[in-house]
Every structure is written in structure tokens, then in C-alpha cells.
Chain A
Amino acid sequence: MSMSAHTVPRHYPIPGEARTSSRETRLGPVSVGRPERTLSTAVSKVGLSEICLSYRTQADERLLALDHINLQVRAGEFVCIVGPSGCGKSTLLHLIAGLQAQTSGQVLVDGHPVQGPGTERILIFQEHGLFPWLTVAENVEFGMKIKGVRKAERTEKMQHYLRLVHLAKFEKSYIHQLSGGMRQRVAIARALATEPDVLLMDEPFGALDAQTRDLLHDELERIWSDSGRTIIFVTHNVREAVRLGDRVVLLTFRPGRVKSEFPVDLPRPRSLEDPEVALAARAVLDELRDEINRFLEAEYSAGVKPRIKPGDEA
């Protein structure tokens, strides 16, 4: 049984949409229209349409990193993006954050094209990206300070968000005095304090030990369901993706394409150890393994172009 045979996500019952777009993607990028215009009356929170990104290598060749990515994320949805390393999933987040520009295509937030960074979309980096010259409190207040929020209001919000991640006692600490898990929680608090609509998380828990990660999964799930924010979460860990996401989007290896989407219709709160999570993860993993195998095949038979047979999933 494949996860993709499951019904629509529990929270946002818009039937068929996710499935349709994934089928279309498999047929090839050319045939894909702009689903946010044609299929849905409501504007997606985040819409990626026909995103392509290519680099110029040192040998002056063009390397296609992202290939006609189409993805619609509804407001309040928790979407996880998985894929083999080097599929461009982190880059995709940078594009949504506006820290990098795509070669062609459009990133739409609330229907408006993204042009540069904006505080309604905050990215949480894998290596947290906190400022070591500032205290925890100053880090959390940073976005508000740049915006020109008054000190009293800043302090109040800072304390609120630090309480939310259970770090109220560490206001005055510097970043280096915190453990890895605490740092990621500060990063989450700092992101939330600018009150973004969309949280972009780039393998935020990748470097943490298992226990800390479990704890942060619970906290993130709680914060997400309390705040109703949209989260796009990138990871290479399929279990983590299934544990957290309403939907798991699988990208192919370079160039990154949307290979398939898996709605995850499991009750929350979930746990990594749930047998349902494991089962759902297996379905995703089967396709991901395919993708990795195909890449390895290409890499080990040097010079041979990777064969891409349409629809040869397990």
C-alpha cells in the first residue's frame, strides 16, 4: 500500500488537488499549468510555479539545480520537503525566503511575487544562524528592533516567545552558553517574534541528538497548531517528515523536480515511534530509495547519463 493512496489531509480537505499536481509533474514540466490560477479559487499561501534555477559552473557549463518546480502550500499547512542530498531542497527555501533569485518561474506569497527577503517569511537555518554578539533576548528582539518596534513592546514579545520555547530563564545568556537544542529553540523564538506567516525550516534539527530532536518535534507541533502558521520544513529524514507534515513532497536528485506528494493523514500529536508513522515513511522511503539508486547508478558508471524511466517506482 502506498501512502499516496491515502485520503486528503485531515486539516485541509481540498480533495484531489495534491494528487493532481503530482501526477502532472510526473508527466513532465511542460504539461503543467498554473494550478493556483486554474484549480483553486483561494490563493495559496505560498505558490511555486515553474521554478527553475541553474548555475554556471566553473567550466562555464550550465547546471540545472531546480527544474520546473510547482508546489502549492495552503495557509496553515505543514509541508515537509524530502529528497536526496543535493536535490536543491535547501535552495528552494532560500528562494522562498528571497535570499536568492530563481532563474525563471515565480514564487508567490499570498498571490504576490517574492522580490527579496521579507519578514512575513522567516527562514530557520540548519546551523541556527543566531548572532553570537547578542544575548538570547537581543537575538529574539532583533527583527522587531530592525522594524522599529518600541522597546517595551519588544521586551514583552521577547519574553512571551522565550516562554513559548521554555527558555525564559536564559534571556541574558550568550549563544555559546547554550546547548544545540536550546540554540534551535532560540532560533524558533527569534523567527516567531517577527510574527511571520510562513516559517521556513532548513533541516533545523539535523545536528541534534535523538532525544532533543523528539522534544523539539513535540514543541514545534504544539507551536504550529497553536499559532496556525504555515510551515515549510526541509529534511532528509523521511520519518521526521512524516511525523511532522500534513504533506510530504519528494524531490528528485539534481535537477530537483517534484517527484511525488504524499498526504499524511494521521492523527496528531504523533510520535516518531508510531507504527503508522513508520509505515507511512516506508512508502515515501521506497520512492526516495529509487531516486538515490538512480543517482548512484549514474555516479558509479562515470560518464553515463542517468536513465530516467517514467513511472518505475517500486
Chain B
Amino acid sequence: MKRAARYVIFYAALLGLWTLLAELKIWPPYLFPTPWGVAEALYAGFQDHTYWIAIRVSMQRVLIGYSISVVLGMILGLGVASNKFLEETMGGLLVSLQSLPSICWWPLALLWFGLNQNAILFVVVMGSLLSVTLAMEDGRKQMPKIFGQAGRNLGAKGFKLFWYVLLPASLPFIVSGLKQGWAFAWRSLITAEMLYLSLGLGQVLMMGRDLNDMSAVIAVMLLIIAIGYVVDGVVFKGMERHLQNKWGLAPAS
């Protein structure tokens, strides 16, 4: 309860400061909108379905892109972790590629796929694939060997061994990597969407700029933050808590 109180106080103060600065009218309202201006923009955006459509389109894209990343990343990561040659060669390449911002793939994606959805998906995959791969590789190495041995001992091999033993055994070690991969996927998506007429949240954000509508810009920024936060807090926190309960990793409560 105390924590809730702290939250309320902090956000109330933030909102108060925002209102105060806006009311002082140091900057014109079209550059520095009031909180209720943003709230109105949010309401209007949902009212005329622009935001609903944008959210649906963006979520669809990020889900497809992220799913591809997770599947590919797990295969790649397992491959790299279980093969010394791949580990020595591709391991280093993957780490160095991670320093490349995902939007740098955009020109390449445009030439390969043209100005369409696939180009966006490509950027999303490139943005999140590496963190999933590296997480899987690391998870496979951190995972105690005994699980694989016990699984094989009980008759599991091939895909069954991977699905019923290696994957669940490495989950606690890769969940943070999966989470990071999600964050990268989400950011890459918004960035790519800002670059062309894409219907997604990124485009709606740019539309606010084009119309000189600062309230709408901030409203969409809040939406992007909120969605990222909800997925992180609900999906990944839930997954972590679930794993902690099963494995007994949870701090004593």
C-alpha cells in the first residue's frame, strides 16, 4: 500500500509540474500542450478509430516479427552453443552485429522487399533476432548439463529432447533475453513505421508532427510507452513469476 501511495504522489507531482509549466505559457501551446490537451487528443484518436487501427496494425506486425525472431533465434542460438566451430566463428559475428542499430537494415530491406510490410518485418526481425540468439546461446550453456543427461537417460532424443527438456530447462536463463528481444522488436517496429505510410503507431506519430499537433504527438508517444510497458509487465513479468514459482527461485516472501 505504501508503494501505491508513493506511485500516486510521484505521478501527481509530475502531472502538476507539467500543468504548471504549460499554464505559465513560456512556450506556445502548439509546442508545449497541457495534460488535458493530450487527454483530448487521446480521446479523439480512439473515438475516430485511428488509434485502434494503428495499435492493431502495429501489434500484428510486432507479433509476427518477434515470433520469427524467437523461432530463428532459438535454432541459431542452440546451433551456436552446441557447435564449437560455429561458436568461434559466428559467435563473434553476432556480437559485433549487435552494435548495428536495427534501422540501418532499412535501406537494405527497401531494396530487397520494396516499400511494404515485409521491409518493416525484416527490420523488426533484425532488431530482435540477435538478442534472442545470444540469450539462447548463453542459456544453453548456463543450463545444468544434468537435465540433458537425465532427459536422454529417460529416452528423450531429437525434437522431444529439445521440446520437453532443453527448452524448458533453459527458459529461466533466456527469459531476460527474450524480454530484451521484445523491447528491441518494439523499438525497431516504431522506427521503421515512422519512415513511410504504414498505418501503424509510428506513422500516426509522424502524422502528428506533419499536422503540427503536439498533443497528438505526445498522445501517441504515451501509447507506445504504455503498450511496451504492459507487454513487459504482464507477459514477461508473469512468465518470470511463473518460472520462479516452479523452480523455487523466488525470493522468500
Binds A, one of B80-88, B127-135, B146-154: B146-154
Rounded to whole Å, the gap between the CB of B5 and the closest CB of chain A is 34
**Binding site of B, secondary structure by majority: helix, strand, loop or mixed?**
helix
Rounded to whole Å, the gap between the CB of A179 and the closest CB of chain B is 12
In the complex, residue of chain A having the shortest beta-carbon distance to the beta carbon of B248: A176
Do the beta carbons of B246 and A127 come within 8 Å of each other? no
Q: Does A262 contact B (CB under 8 A)?
A: no
Q: Does A133 contact B (CB under 8 A)?
A: yes
Do the beta carbons of A143 and B248 come within 8 Å of each other? no
Do the beta carbons of B146 and A127 come within 8 Å of each other? yes
> Given A127-B146, A131-B165, A133-B169, do A143 and B154 touch, yes or no (CB 8 Å)?
yes
B230-253 vs A, Cβ < 8 Å mask (1 yes, 0 no): 000000000000010111100000
Q: Which of B153, B157, B247 contacts A132 (CB 8 A)?
A: B247
Binds B, one of A23-31, A47-55, A117-125: A117-125
Do the beta carbons of A99 and B152 come within 8 Å of each other? yes
- Chain B: number of interface residues, binned into ranges: 20 to 34
Point out which of B146, B155, B164, B171 has the most chain A C-beta atoms below 10 A from its C-beta: B155
Do the beta carbons of B169 and A146 come within 8 Å of each other? no
Alpha-carbon distance between A118 and B164 when the two chains are bound, in angstroms: 17
Rounded to whole Å, the gap between the CB of A189 and the closest CB of chain B is 12
CB-contacts of A290-306 with B (<8 A): none
Do the beta carbons of A99 and B149 come within 8 Å of each other? yes
CB-contacts of B143-180 with A (<8 A): 146-147, 149-150, 152-157, 160, 164-165, 168-169, 171
Do the beta carbons of B246 and A143 come within 8 Å of each other? no
Do the beta carbons of B248 and A146 come within 8 Å of each other? no
In the complex, which residues of chain B have a beta carbon less than 8 angstroms from the beta carbon of A253? none
Alpha-carbon distance between A133 and B167 when the two chains are bound, in angstroms: 11
Alpha-carbon distance between A119 and B157 when the two chains are bound, in angstroms: 12
Do the beta carbons of A194 and B154 come within 8 Å of each other? yes
In the complex, which residues of chain B have a beta carbon less than 8 angstroms from the beta carbon of A97? 153
Alpha-carbon distance between A242 and B204 when the two chains are bound, in angstroms: 78
Q: Which of B147, B153, B155, B248 contacts A99 (CB 8 A)?
A: B153
Do the beta carbons of B246 and A117 come within 8 Å of each other? no
> Given A117-B155, A194-B155, do A131 and B248 touch, yes or no (CB 8 Å)?
no
> Given A146-B160, A175-B248, A176-B247, do A131 and B150 touch, yes or no (CB 8 Å)?
yes
Q: How many residues of A contact B (CB 8 A)?
A: 28
Alpha-carbon distance between A125 and B150 when the two chains are bound, in angstroms: 8
In the complex, which residues of chain B have a beta carbon less than 8 angstroms from the beta carbon of A130? 150
Do the beta carbons of B149 and A125 come within 8 Å of each other? yes
Point out which of B153, B157, B165, B168 has the most chain A C-beta atoms below 10 A from its C-beta: B153
In the complex, which residues of chain A have a beta carbon less than 8 angstroms from the beta carbon of B155? 117-119, 143, 146-147, 194
> Given A127-B146, A132-B247, A133-B246, do A122 and B171 touch, yes or no (CB 8 Å)?
no
Alpha-carbon distance between A131 and B164 when the two chains are bound, in angstroms: 10
Alpha-carbon distance between A73 and B248 when the two chains are bound, in angstroms: 40
Q: Does A78 contact B (CB under 8 A)?
A: no
Do the beta carbons of A131 and B149 come within 8 Å of each other? no
Do the beta carbons of B147 and A129 come within 8 Å of each other? yes
Q: Which of A94, A145, A174, A190 contacts B248 (CB 8 A)?
A: A174
Alpha-carbon distance between A77 and B161 when the two chains are bound, in angstroms: 32
Do the beta carbons of B154 and A174 come within 8 Å of each other? no
Do the beta carbons of A123 and B247 come within 8 Å of each other? no
In the complex, residue of chain A having the shortest beta-carbon distance to the beta carbon of B146: A129
Alpha-carbon distance between A127 and B147 when the two chains are bound, in angstroms: 11
A96-122 vs B, Cβ < 8 Å mask (1 yes, 0 no): 010100000000000000001111001
Sample of 6 further A-B pairs with CB below 8 A, known A117-B153, A132-B247, A174-B248: A129-B150, A131-B165, A132-B248, A145-B164, A146-B154, A146-B156
Chain A to chain B: the 6 pairs with minimum beta-carbon distance, closest first: A176-B248, A129-B150, A143-B154, A119-B155, A133-B168, A129-B146
